[in-house]
């Protein structure tokens, strides 16, 4: 019996070594160590053994069982590792092939800049307002202190729908509309983005473009507040190192009025082609709300003041992204759009 | 408006640098649009005289000249110009001179004879042809006989100067006169400004014996002054005047014309000179023109007038179109003996319209259009008469005939320093503030025991009438850049953000996420677009622009489709054939004439070509269902419920078999479809295009829908498939309806997963397979319960739609 057991041990070891797959190994395991396996079959004859031999053979059988178990274990590990290696080898791919493309959308640069402007001002507590694109002469001009035949109307070439209806030439009529809605409530603190139209078409002018209007009306609003607000805006829009320069100017609906330049973002104010060597680039017009405009809206111009500003979104987008021809914005070449 | 350095020097005794003038005027609020150093254009050119001239021995066309250039010896120069004659004065570029464009003059040999320089034409010196008479444009430039030989030409013609192109804002029309530009500059640098004094004998009755003036309607003109000058001697004006005129861009003509131009540039008041003897009734009448009335203007063209134009009549005939151009019949010429100077004020809107209609915009009309202070008119005419006398070009009749129906208002405004500081956010003391007005040359009347002072506003500053105008003066003189920077302490406005804006933003974000690119197109389109879309009926409700830039931009869009289709076309032409684009914008509809049109916010999407370019195979062409998937996802993400797609065969822009109306709660909210092949042909597009257009108005409320969590199912669900054949024309939406109608609330989801109509399927039939999901929130459904519901759905499909189960 001892010989039988030793023979099982040897043949099992041989069989295990010869196994080439995990499945084969499993079969061998069942064949030798299973319920009906060779080892069990031999041990069935234990009853015929003497009492002295029985524990000795029993112990030998256990040793062989453990020994084979260990061999099976090791072998199965080795085979598993090998199988894994083969699998991995087989699944080799060219990782330099392009990935499965996701469709990438894009947002128009004008919208991106408009969004940023809205974020900056909503953080400062402004709400966003809107008005019609086809506007009454009354709101577009008269309420902004520009009566009919006022010479300043010449500053903006206007598209007319009828004698009293125009395509709005600026977003400023929203000022009057919002004040009408709110007066005498204080404060008024809004921005109004939107499309505007002027009869002008060349590399730097488009007959349609985008503006953002800003308006604040309250007690004790000062010109210093206007400067501070605009400085804060350009720092957030163009970077912490940006500065502003205000030049006296004229708009019928503000007084005092100022054109506002930002330090050139291309040369940091040193002077370059884009800023015509001045170090400054004009980005917006602004001023203290003209008392007439407040009065027409029903505010007491002795008690409340305000400031207003208006900027061209397209122009800021061109500056921000280095776009040198305004027409690119409206050509909508997909290769242009996909860059944003 | 041009200012020149040399001219400004006449009023301020200080030699400013170009930089100082630029900065000073900018800070005063006068935009310097350009600076032109006239002396930079050429160098080394002097006034010379051709002393001898003979033919070149070997070339008939060339002249061999001996030229006096003010040096000890005459210079030998060969010239090719036919007008080269002995005795003439002409510009001479000496050896070493540099002409415009950097062209250097060297010693040269022409047909064997040496030439030491060049006689120049005005063109070679790049003199603006507007500054030259016709004769001066021909050949070498013939200079006036009295010009001094050897003088630097730049000096002689006034080009030793720097000009500043100024952008004058509408409120400061006073700065259309050099005097007031000088006042601004003097104020900025605290320099004294000397205003030329004039003789004012306007009260003398003598003039009234020569002429009378009548203004028919003060609305047309609120001041008209006439002054008479006798015994006129027409001749060239003095060199100093010619120089500043030329530097300012005006061609010197003769003493009288030059004086009117000079005084206009100096004071801003345009003047006109009539030949007094050509005025028939010696009676100036200012009246509205009659419709169709005619006058021949100075340029020899007969003009037909309308009733909005203002006419100057001599009692019998029209003699000038007011503010725009004089008549040929009263023109000053070489035989003129007596003249009448007109210094007047006309309704600026009329002058503006008239100059536009007649196509006659001039330095004078543009000044009338901006509106000048009527009080300036007397100073200006007196200045002109003084200049005539100084030049001994005539003798003035004392007195002025002055029709002045509406006297200019005088303003005295009280300065309240506390209020100025409160508005500016500054802390400027009252005395400093008052001193600013002294610098401006205004009278300041202090009030005892108070910071306040009365400021006497000079007549020429028509822009200052109330306190806020004083605030502006203080701000610009103090310096904008010295004003502090603070942030307003205002509370946030309580008004909520407009939902329409948020909705647009959400739509853009969603479509961006779905792989579409945003475009922005013009809101105006060509009316032909509607024809191309097969939607000519839309033209009727479209808003038309009265004065479009072109027909291509003459109608406000009634749909976003023309814009997006044109962008697709342009991209496809550039070989960009795979496009997924969208636009959010307004469309316009005329509801009632003379009322604001209806503006509706919409979104349009367009997809065409391949979804994505790939290397791993399978057909990737965009189809209707790709477009529909975008629409469904967008609507779902926005939270718009009750959406259905209903086949629409009536939409003429779309393929009749591939078009649906997008319905929300039973109302049409938009459309989706493949673009009709005819429409594609109209646009010149040769690939299939899918579009969608959806209104966003009315959906703002979905943004306020609060999402609430619903409990996750506790009990497992069971899935059953159902497959059947059915007639091909049965719509999926019908089947969905039957399934939904036949099931209880235990059916929680159903999904089409296969459509097949190939082999093994009877002609005219299709095979469909759905996966249905059953679930109960209270318990686990037994197989029997599921089978029962499933069976009832099967029965319904068989009974109602004739489905055959497979
Ligand atoms: Zn720069």
Indicate which CATH number applies to the domain containing B755. Answer: 3.30.70.380
Do residue B520 and residue B667 come from a single domain?
Answer: yes
Among A51-60, A83-92, B430-439, the minimum mean pLDDT is found in A51-60
Quickly count helices (H) and strands (E) in chain B: 20, 39
Residue A101's alpha-carbon distances to B515, B566, B582, B622, B626, in angstroms, are 11, 27, 20, 15, 16
Nearest to B183 by CA among B433, B380, B377, B3: B3
How many CB atoms sit inside 10 A of residue B359's CB?
A: 8
Do residue B96 and residue B172 come from a single domain?
Answer: no
Do residue B506 and residue B569 come from a single domain?
Answer: yes
Phi and psi at residue B222, to the nearest 5° = -105, 5
The proportion of chain B whose per-residue pLDDT surpasses 90, expressed as a percent, equals 74
Do residue A51 and residue A7 come from a single domain?
Answer: yes
In a domain, B708, yes or no: no
Q: Which residues of B touch A259 (CB under 8 A)?
A: 31
Phi and psi at residue B456, to the nearest 5° = -90, 115
Task: Give the nearest chain B residue to A301 (CA atoms).
Answer: B468
Residue B523's alpha-carbon distances to A207, A208, B63, B225, B406, in angstroms, are 10, 8, 65, 51, 47
In a domain, A275, yes or no: yes
Query: In the predicted model, is pLDDT for residue B404 greater than 60?
Result: yes
- Residue B320 or residue B741, greater confidence: B320
Q: Which residues of A touch B580 (CB under 8 A)?
A: 103, 105
Element (H, E) at A251: strand A244-251
Query: In the predicted model, is pLDDT for residue B493 greater than 70?
Result: no
| Cα-to-centroid distance, A245 and ligand 1 (Å) | 14
Q: Is B433 within 8 Å of B422 (Cβ atoms)?
A: no
Do residue B73 and residue B118 come from a single domain?
Answer: yes
Residue B339's alpha-carbon distances to B238, B323, B385, B387, B404, in angstroms, are 20, 18, 11, 14, 21
Residue-averaged pLDDT of chain B: 92
R_g over Cα of chain A? 42
Q: Residue B497's pLDDT is what? A: 60
**Structural domain that includes position B726:** 718-805
Residues 368-387 (B) with a CB less than 8 A from some CB of A = 369-371
Q: Which residues of B touch A122 (CB under 8 A)?
A: 497
Q: Which residues of A touch B489 (CB under 8 A)?
A: 220
- At B574-619, the pLDDT tens digits run 999 999 999 999 999 999 988 999 999 999 999 999 877 667 666 5
Nearest to A256 among B472, B486, B611 (CB): B472
Last residue of a domain, one of A45, A64, A91: A91
Q: In a mutagenesis test of the B interface, which of A98, A102, A139, A161 is the best target, namely the one with the most B β-carbons within 10 Å?
A: A161
Do residue A224 and residue A320 come from a single domain?
Answer: yes
Predicted TM-score of the model (pTM): 0.85
Tokens of A335: 């290769």
In a domain, B11, yes or no: yes
Q: pLDDT-based confidence at B494, cuts 50/70/90?
A: low
Do residue A120 and residue A233 come from a single domain?
Answer: yes
DSSP code for B6: H
Q: Are strands B401-403 and B283-288 parallel, antiparallel or unpaired?
A: unpaired
In a domain, B62, yes or no: yes
Q: In a mutagenesis test of the A interface, which of B467, B517, B522, B620 is the best target, namely the one with the most A β-carbons within 10 Å?
A: B517
- Residue B509 or residue A62, greater confidence: B509
Q: Is A226 within 8 Å of A310 (Cβ atoms)?
A: no
In a domain, A12, yes or no: yes
R_g over Cα of chain B? 41
Do residue A209 and residue A256 come from a single domain?
Answer: yes
CA distance B340 to chain A (A): 30
Do residue B339 and residue B352 come from a single domain?
Answer: yes
Strands, sheet with A134-136, edge to edge from the N-terminal-most edge strand = A134-136, A165-167, A160-162
Do residue B245 and residue B389 come from a single domain?
Answer: yes
Kindly report the CATH number assigned to the domain that includes residue A217. 3.30.930.10
The proportion of chain B whose per-residue pLDDT surpasses 70, expressed as a percent, equals 98
B497 CB near a chain A CB, below 8 Å? yes
In a domain, B488, yes or no: no
A105/B511 CB distance under 8 A: yes
Do residue A76 and residue A127 come from a single domain?
Answer: no
Tokens of B345: 């004020």
SS3 B498: coil
Straight-line distance from the first to the last Cα atom of chain B, in angstroms, rounded to the nearest whole number: 90
Q: Which residues of B touch A160 (CB under 8 A)?
A: 545-547
B507 CB near a chain A CB, below 8 Å? no
Burial code (b: 16+ CB inside 10 Å, e: under 16) for B60-74 equals eebbbbbbbbeeeeb
- How many interchain CB pairs under 8 A, A with B? 252
Q: Return d(Cα B653, Cα B661) in angstroms, integer.
A: 12
Q: Which residues of A touch B423 (CB under 8 A)?
A: 222-223, 288, 305
Do residue B504 and residue B457 come from a single domain?
Answer: no
Q: Is A234 within 8 Å of A244 (Cβ atoms)?
A: yes
Query: In the predicted model, is pLDDT for residue B739 greater than 90?
Result: no
A332/B570 CB distance under 8 A: yes
Among A332-336, B379-383, B673-677, B721-725, the minimum mean pLDDT is found in B721-725
Q: Return d(Cα B491, Cα A124) in angstroms, integer.
A: 10
| Cα-to-centroid distance, A274 and ligand 1 (Å) | 5
CA distance A188 to chain B (A): 6
Q: Is A234 within 8 Å of A193 (Cβ atoms)?
A: no
Q: Return d(Cα A188, Cα A185) in angstroms, integer.
A: 7
Q: How many domains does chain B have?
A: 6
B704 CB near a chain A CB, below 8 Å? no
Q: Which residues of B touch A220 (CB under 8 A)?
A: 422, 489
DSSP code for A51: T
| Cα-to-centroid distance, A273 and ligand 1 (Å) | 6
Kindly report the CATH number assigned to the domain that includes residue B6. 3.30.56.10
Q: Return d(Cα B480, Cα B696) in angstroms, integer.
A: 45
Among A109-113, A326-330, B411-415, B567-571, the minimum mean pLDDT is found in A326-330
Q: Is B441 within 8 Å of B458 (Cβ atoms)?
A: yes
Do residue A15 and residue A87 come from a single domain?
Answer: yes
Q: Residue A183's pLDDT is what? A: 86
Q: Return d(Cα B398, Cα B521) in angstroms, integer.
A: 66
Q: Is B448 within 8 Å of B426 (Cβ atoms)?
A: no
SS3 B129: helix
A108/B371 CB distance under 8 A: no
What does A58-127 look like in DSSP terms, one character per residue? HHHHHHHHHHHHHHHHHHHHHHHHHHHHHHHHHT---TTSPPPPPPP-B--HHHHHHHHHHHHHHHTT-E
In a domain, B58, yes or no: yes
Do residue A177 and residue A311 come from a single domain?
Answer: yes
- CA A261 from chain centre, in angstroms, equals 29
**Structural domain that includes position A82:** 2-91
Q: Residue B427's pLDDT is what? A: 96
Residue B654's alpha-carbon distances to B170, B643, B774, in angstroms, are 53, 20, 39
Nearest to A113 by CA among A49, A183, A193: A193
Query: In the predicted model, is pLDDT for residue A100 greater than 80?
Result: no
Do residue A138 and residue A60 come from a single domain?
Answer: no
Q: How many domains does chain A have?
A: 2
In a domain, A171, yes or no: yes
Do residue A86 and residue A137 come from a single domain?
Answer: no
Do residue B335 and residue B255 come from a single domain?
Answer: yes
Do residue A73 and residue A134 come from a single domain?
Answer: no
- Residue B55 or residue B675, greater confidence: B675
B423/A288 CB distance under 8 A: yes
Nearest to B546 among A160, A290, A291 (CB): A160
Nearest to B523 among A152, A208, A247 (CB): A208
| Cα-to-centroid distance, A278 and ligand 1 (Å) | 7
Q: Return d(Cα A184, Cα A171) in angstroms, integer.
A: 22
DSSP code for A132: -
Q: Where does B327-362 have alpha helices with state H?
A: 348-358
Query: In the predicted model, is pLDDT for residue B631 greater than 70?
Result: yes
A333/B570 CB distance under 8 A: yes
Kindly report the CATH number assigned to the domain that includes residue B333. 3.50.40.10
Straight-line distance from the first to the last Cα atom of chain A, in angstroms, rounded to the nearest whole number: 85
Q: pLDDT-based confidence at A155, cuts 50/70/90?
A: low
Nearest to B670 by CA among B642, B645, B701, B634: B645
Query: In the predicted model, is pLDDT for residue A106 greater than 90?
Result: yes
Residues with Cβ within 8 Å of residue A153, at least 6 apart in sequence = A141, A146
Kindly report the CATH number assigned to the domain that includes residue B698. 3.30.930.10
Residues 515-554 (B) with a CB less than 8 A from some CB of A = 515-524, 543-549, 553
In a domain, A186, yes or no: yes
In a domain, A77, yes or no: yes
In a domain, A264, yes or no: yes
Residues with Cβ within 8 Å of residue B698, at least 6 apart in sequence = B669
Residue B383's alpha-carbon distances to A195, B9, B139, B269, B342, in angstroms, are 50, 18, 38, 11, 12
| Cα-to-centroid distance, A242 and ligand 1 (Å) | 12
Phi and psi at residue B377, to the nearest 5° = -55, -40
Tokens of B552: 């291509």
Q: Is B144 within 8 Å of B238 (Cβ atoms)?
A: no
In a domain, B490, yes or no: no
Q: Which residues of B touch A133 (CB under 8 A)?
A: 523, 586, 588, 599
Q: Residue B619's pLDDT is what? A: 59
Q: Residue B618's pLDDT is what? A: 61
CA distance A84 to chain B (A): 27
B15 CB near a chain A CB, below 8 Å? no
Do residue B271 and residue B392 come from a single domain?
Answer: yes
- Residue B342 or residue A56, greater confidence: B342
Average of per-residue pLDDT across B676-704 = 92
B476 CB near a chain A CB, below 8 Å? yes
In a domain, B26, yes or no: yes
Nearest to B24 by CA among B475, B477, B434: B477
Average of per-residue pLDDT across B160-171 = 93
Do residue B26 and residue B175 come from a single domain?
Answer: yes
Phi and psi at residue A127, to the nearest 5° = -105, 160
Q: Within 13 A of B113's CA, how many CA atoms are on the CB side?
A: 17
- At A36-47, the pLDDT tens digits run 888 888 777 777
Do residue A167 and residue A269 come from a single domain?
Answer: yes
Do residue B779 and residue B765 come from a single domain?
Answer: yes
DSSP code for B538: G
In a domain, B748, yes or no: yes
Query: In the predicted model, is pLDDT for residue B726 greater than 70?
Result: yes
- Residue A195 or residue A147, greater confidence: A195
Q: Return d(Cα B282, Cα B280) in angstroms, integer.
A: 6
A255/B468 CB distance under 8 A: yes
SS3 A296: helix
> Where do the DSSP E strands lie in B268-378?
271-275, 283-288, 294-296, 302-304, 310-313, 318-321, 325-326, 339-346
Average of per-residue pLDDT across B218-230 = 95
Q: pLDDT-based confidence at B495, cuts 50/70/90?
A: low
Quickly count helices (H) and strands (E) in chain A: 12, 10
Q: Return d(Cα A165, Cα A334) in angstroms, integer.
A: 35
Phi and psi at residue B666, to the nearest 5° = 80, -5
Q: Return d(Cα B136, Cα B326) in angstroms, integer.
A: 25
In a domain, A104, yes or no: no
Q: Which residues of B touch A308 (CB under 8 A)?
A: none
ipTM of the complex: 0.86
Burial code (b: 16+ CB inside 10 Å, e: under 16) for B755-773 equals eeeeeeeeeebbbbebebe
What does B560-579 look like in DSSP terms, one character per residue? SHHHHHHHHHHHHHTT---E
Average of per-residue pLDDT across A274-284 = 89
Residue-averaged pLDDT of chain A: 90
Do residue A122 and residue A54 come from a single domain?
Answer: no
- Residue B183 or residue A66, greater confidence: B183
Do residue B395 and residue B298 come from a single domain?
Answer: yes
Q: pLDDT-based confidence at A61, cuts 50/70/90?
A: confident
Q: Residue A240's pLDDT is what? A: 93
In a domain, A97, yes or no: no
């Amino acid at each position: 019996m001892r010989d039988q057991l030793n023979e099982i041990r040897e043949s099992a070891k041989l069989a295990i070594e010869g196994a080439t797959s995990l499945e084969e190994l499993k079969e061998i395991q069942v064949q030798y160590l299973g319920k009906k396996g060779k080892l069990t079959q031999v041990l069935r004859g234990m009853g015929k053994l003497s009492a002295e031999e029985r524990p000795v053979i029993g112990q030998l059988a256990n040793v062989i069982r453990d020994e084979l178990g260990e061999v099976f274990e090791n072998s199965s590990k080795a085979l598993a590792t090998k199988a894994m290696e083969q699998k991995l080898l087989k699944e080799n791919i060219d990782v330099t092939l392009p990935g499965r493309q996701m469709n990438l959308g894009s947002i128009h640069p004008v919208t991106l800049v408009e969004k940023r402007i809205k974020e900056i001002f909503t953080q400062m507590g402004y709400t966003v307002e809107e008005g019609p694109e086809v506007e009454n002469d009354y709101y577009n001009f008269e309420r902004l202190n520009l009566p009919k035949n006022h010479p300043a109307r010449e500053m903006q070439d206007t598209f007319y729908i009828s004698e009293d209806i125009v395509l709005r030439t600026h977003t400023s009529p929203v000022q009057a509309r919002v004040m009408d809605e709110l007066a005498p409530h204080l404060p008024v603190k809004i921005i109004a983005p939107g499309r505007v139209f002027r009869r002008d078409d060349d590399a730097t002018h488009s007959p349609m473009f985008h503006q953002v209007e800003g308006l604040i009306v309250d007690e004790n609003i000062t010109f210093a507040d206007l400067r501070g607000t605009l400085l804060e805006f350009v720092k957030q829009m163009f970077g912490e190192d940006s500065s502003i320069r205000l030049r006296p100017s004229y708009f019928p609906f503000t007084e005092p009025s100022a054109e506002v330049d930002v330090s050139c973002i291309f040369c940091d104010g040193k002077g370059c082609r884009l800023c015509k060597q001045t170090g400054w680039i004009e980005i917006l017009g602004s001023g203290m709300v003209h008392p007439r405009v407040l009065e027409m809206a029903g505010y007491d111009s002795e008690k409340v003041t305000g400031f207003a500003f208006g900027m061209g979104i397209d122009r800021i987008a061109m500056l921000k992204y280095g776009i040198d021809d305004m027409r690119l914005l409206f050509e909508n070449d997909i290769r242009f759009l996909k860059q944003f | 408006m041009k200012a020149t350095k040399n001219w400004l020097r006449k009023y301020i005794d200080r030699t400013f640098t170009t930089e100082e003038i630029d900065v000073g005027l900018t800070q005063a609020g006068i935009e310097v649009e350009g600076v032109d150093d006239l002396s930079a254009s050429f160098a080394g050119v002097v006034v010379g005289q051709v002393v001898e001239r003979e033919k070149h021995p070997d070339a008939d066309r060339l002249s061999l000249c001996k030229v006096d250039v003010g040096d000890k010896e005459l210079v030998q120069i060969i010239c090719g110009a036919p007008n080269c004659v002995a005795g003439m004065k002409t510009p001479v570029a000496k050896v070493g001179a540099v002409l415009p464009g950097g062209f250097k003059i060297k010693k040269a040999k022409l047909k064997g004879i040496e030439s030491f320089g060049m006689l120049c034409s005005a063109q070679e010196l790049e003199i603006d042809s507007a500054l030259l008479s016709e004769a001066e444009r021909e050949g070498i430039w013939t200079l006036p006989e009295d010009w001094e030989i050897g003088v630097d030409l730049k000096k002689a013609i006034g080009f030793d100067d720097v000009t500043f192109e100024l952008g004058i804002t509408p409120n400061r029309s006073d700065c259309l006169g050099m005097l007031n530009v000088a006042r601004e500059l003097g104020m900025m640098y605290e320099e004294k400004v000397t205003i030329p004094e004039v003789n004012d004998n306007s009260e003398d009755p003598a003039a009234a014996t020569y002429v009378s003036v009548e203004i028919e309607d003060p609305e047309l003109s609120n001041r008209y002054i006439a002054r008479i000058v006798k015994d006129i001697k027409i001749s060239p004006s003095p060199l100093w005047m010619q120089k500043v005129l030329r530097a300012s861009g005006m061609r010197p003509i003769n003493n009288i014309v030059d004086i009117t131009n000079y005084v206009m540039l100096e004071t801003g008041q345009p003047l006109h000179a009539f030949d007094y003897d050509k005025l028939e009734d010696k009676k100036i009448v200012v009246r509205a023109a009659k419709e169709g009335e005619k006058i021949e203007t100075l340029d020899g063209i007969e003009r037909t007038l309308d009733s909005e134009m203002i006419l100057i009549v001599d009692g019998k005939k029209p003699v000038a179109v007011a503010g725009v151009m004089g008549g040929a019949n009263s023109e000053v010429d070489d035989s003129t003996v007596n003249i009448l100077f007109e210094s007047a004020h006309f309704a600026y809107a009329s002058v503006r319209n008239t100059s536009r209609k007649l196509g006659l915009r001039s330095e004078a009309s543009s000044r009338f259009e901006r509106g000048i202070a009527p009080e300036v008119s007397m100073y200006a005419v007196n200045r002109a008469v003084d200049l005539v006398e100084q030049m001994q070009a005539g003798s003035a009749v004392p007195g002025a005939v002055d029709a002045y129906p509406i006297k200019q208002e005088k303003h005295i405004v009280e300065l309240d320093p506390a209020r100025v500081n409160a508005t500016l956010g500054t802390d400027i003391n009252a005395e400093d503030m008052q001193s600013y007005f002294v610098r401006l040359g205004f009278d300041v009347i202090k009030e005892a025991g108070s910071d306040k002072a009365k400021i006497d506003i000079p007549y020429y500053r028509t822009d200052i009438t109330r306190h806020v105008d004083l605030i502006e003066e203080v701000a610009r003189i103090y310096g904008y850049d010295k004003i502090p920077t603070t942030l307003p302490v205002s509370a946030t406005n309580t008004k909520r953000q407009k939902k329409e804006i948020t909705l647009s933003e959400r739509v853009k974000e969603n479509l961006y996420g779905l792989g579409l690119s945003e475009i922005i197109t013009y809101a105006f389109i060509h009316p032909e677009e509607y024809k191309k879309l097969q939607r000519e009926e839309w033209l009727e409700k479209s808003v038309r622009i009265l004065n479009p830039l072109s027909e291509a931009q003459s109608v406000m869009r009634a749909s976003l489709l023309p814009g997006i289709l044109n962008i697709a076309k342009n991209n496809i032409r550039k070989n960009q054939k795979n496009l997924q684009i969208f636009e959010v914008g307004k469309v316009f509809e005329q509801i009632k004439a003379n009322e604001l049109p209806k503006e509706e916010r919409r979104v349009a999407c367009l997809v065409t070509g391949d979804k994505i370019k790939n290397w791993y195979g399978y057909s990737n062409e965009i189809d209707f269902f790709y477009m529909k998937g975008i629409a469904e996802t967008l609507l779902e993400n926005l939270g718009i419920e009750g959406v259905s797609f209903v086949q629409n065969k009536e939409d003429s822009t779309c393929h009749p078999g591939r078009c649906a109306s997008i319905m929300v709660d039973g109302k049409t909210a938009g459309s989706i479809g493949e673009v009709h092949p005819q429409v594609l042909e109209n646009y010149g597009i040769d690939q299939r295009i899918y579009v969608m257009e959806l209104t966003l108005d009315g959906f703002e409320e979905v943004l306020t829908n609060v999402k609430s969590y619903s409990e996750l199912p506790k009990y497992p669900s069971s899935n059953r498939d159902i497959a059947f054949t059915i007639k091909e024309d049965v719509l999926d939406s019908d089947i969905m309806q039957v399934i939904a109608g036949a099931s209880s609330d235990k059916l929680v989801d159903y999904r089409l997963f296969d459509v097949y109509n190939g082999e093994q399927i009877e002609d005219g039939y299709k095979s469909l397979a759905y996966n249905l999901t059953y679930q109960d929130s209270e318990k686990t459904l037994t197989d029997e319960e599921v089978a029962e519901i499933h069976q009832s759905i099967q029965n319904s499909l068989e009974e109602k739609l004739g489905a055959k189960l497979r």
